[in-house]
């Protein structure tokens, strides 16, 4: 999953995108735990600090939410991990 997220950001940077709108990749039908995926996104975004002006997560809790793999839904995990964060490049 980490490699998929890295590829997503790498391709966006290659194509000179400065604003990204992302989802809870793999947390719905593929049943990846949203806490883990949110932490992976945070880690990869930290690697790409300064490459993008804005990153927004568009996440809804749908019929796949509230299941055994994500009892609190997807939104809460991503909000808790990423909401209001600002990532600056390391010098």
pTM over 0.75: yes
User: Tens digit of pLDDT for each residue in 12-69?
Assistant: 999 999 999 999 999 988 889 999 999 999 999 999 999 999 999 999 887 777 777 7
Looking at residue 9, its pLDDT comes to 98
Structure tokens belonging to residue 87: 């990532």
What residues have CB less than 8 Å from 27, skipping those under 6 apart? Answer: 33, 34, 37, 64, 69, 70, 74, 77
Grouping H, G, I as helix, E, B as strand and the rest as coil, residue 19 is strand
Tell me what pLDDT residue 82 has. Answer: 95
At residue 8, the pLDDT reads: 97
Enumerate domains of the chain plus CATH numbers: 2-82 (3.40.220.10)
């Amino acid at each position: 999953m980490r490699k998929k997220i890295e590829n997503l950001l790498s391709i966006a940077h290659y194509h000179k995108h400065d604003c990204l709108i992302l989802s809870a990749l793999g947390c719905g039908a593929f049943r990846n735990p949203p806490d883990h995926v949110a932490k992976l996104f945070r880690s990869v975004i930290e690697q790409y600090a300064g490459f993008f002006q804005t990153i927004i997560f568009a996440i809804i809790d749908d019929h796949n939410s509230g299941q055994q793999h994500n009892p609190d839904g997807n939104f809460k995990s991503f909000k808790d991990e990423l909401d209001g964060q600002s990532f600056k490049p390391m010098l």
